[in-house]
Amino acid sequence: MLALLILVTVTLTSAHHPGEHFEGDKVFRVHVEDENHISLLHELASTRQMDFWKPDSLTQIKPHSTVDFRIKAEDAVAVEDFLGQNRLQYEVLISNLRSMLEAQFDSRVRATGHSYEKYNQWETIEAWTEQVASENPDLISRSAIGTTFLGNTIYLLKVGKPGSDKPAIFMDCGFHAREWISPAFCQWFVREAVRTYGRERHMTEFLDKLDFYVLPVVNIDGYIYTWTTNRMWRKTRSTKAGSTCIGTDLNRNFAAGWCRIGASTNPCDETYCGSAAESEKETKAVANFIRNHLSSIKAYLTIHSYSQMMLYPYSYDYKLPKNNVELNALAKAAVKELATLHGTSYTYGPGASTIYPAAGGSDDWAYDQGIQYSFTFELRDKGRYGFLLPESQIQPTCEETMLAIKYVTSYVLEHLY
């Protein structure tokens, strides 16, 4: 009986921490000064498997920037030697990925089911979408807007008091599977809406005057996979004829300068743009919903991590949007508001020049559909934990992000078009 109990415990733990194969993996940050440094990193990538955390791929590295990437344990010594011999300035952000994976689950909340202060598995989030809607029928309704490649239902929550012809704001989370703080924020937002409606005047006004369409997890298949199999998975789990490699980067799959820059045509790459724009069922579901509600959607907000940035179009080109001055001022004010709570500093600006060029993104696509206020948020942190932000940071991260989202919402309400 004892042996059986031990077996059960081990299985449960490994299901909770799909991290045993990350023992000894390291995350490096390299300071890139010039083209020579970039070509050295290209040389390194040709001999060692590098999982790029920021930027998303080798091709997006720019001079005078930093590059964060993960290296397998067995390559760590060779990589440190290479960086040292070539006089590349670097630091080790994470010295053992496995211990960092386990340290994520540091929440003092002892809830067994859903918790807003913990990372929740998909089945828990799915049950929560049903529960939060049934418990708050006057504020929330749940609908299915499509299914994923593996047949999971994509749920959307409409948050707001019923009314006719209300303007709306669309917000999605969980495009990239490993960015766990993102779905946590969408859940937090819904909780705050329900908790403060009728008590806090801004939220009350927002929900009376407009609707929020909240999509808690876009890339459900990938998210499930980060819980069961590989915590560092980014893409979807779709397969492509003629390739053994799996997954498409949903944020390269929209019809906005599709696959032109900062995206890959190789199915094995992390930034694979798909076989065509909207080739992925998840992309199609989001795009179809937005197209069908274009007359009411006044703002599009998409939540990612990490790097503490608030980005607006364009990312597929270095061109600036028509209302660049307005978007820049709005982003500046929103990040200033965000910083008032915990002093967290965000940078802001157009995607291509602020972070890196990347075609096929949902924010650019939404903007080109005529949605004038389109923003990507890159939440905490700046690389200390990267994608493995501890649960103890969920509350402060979500609280400060709420301030920025509420600022944008107020602005949009005052500038309806």
What is d(CA 262, CA 272) in angstroms, rounded to the nearest whole number?
10
Q: How many CA atoms lie within 13 A of 360 on its CB side?
A: 28
Dihedral class, residue 160 (left if φ above 0, else alpha if ψ from -120 to 50, else beta): left
Q: How far is CA 276 from CA 13, 240, 279, in A?
A: 39, 11, 5
Q: Which two tokens stand for residue 161?
A: 């008091």
Strand 90-94 to 65-71 pairing: unpaired
CA angle, corner 178, sides to 12 and 155, nearest 5? 85
CA distances from 144 to 160, 216, 253, 412 (A): 17, 12, 21, 26
DSSP-derived 3-state class of residue 129: helix
Residue 176, burial from CB neighbour count under 10 angstroms (0-12, 13-18, 19+) = buried
Cβ neighbours of residue 387 closer than 8 Å, sequence gap 6 or more: 53, 178, 179, 180, 232, 305, 306
Q: Which residue is catalytic, options 337, 378, 391, 400?
A: 378
Query: CA triplet 92, 95, 96: central angle to 5 degrees?
Result: 155
Q: How far apart are CA 275 and CA 279, in angstroms?
A: 6
Give the type of residue at 386.
G
Q: Which residues of 262-296 are buried (b: 16+ CB within 10 A; e: fewer)?
A: bbbeebebbbbbbbebbbbbbbebbbebbeeeeee
Does residue 378 have an active-site annotation? yes
How many residues does this entry show for the chain?
Answer: 417
Which residues carry out catalysis? Answer: 378
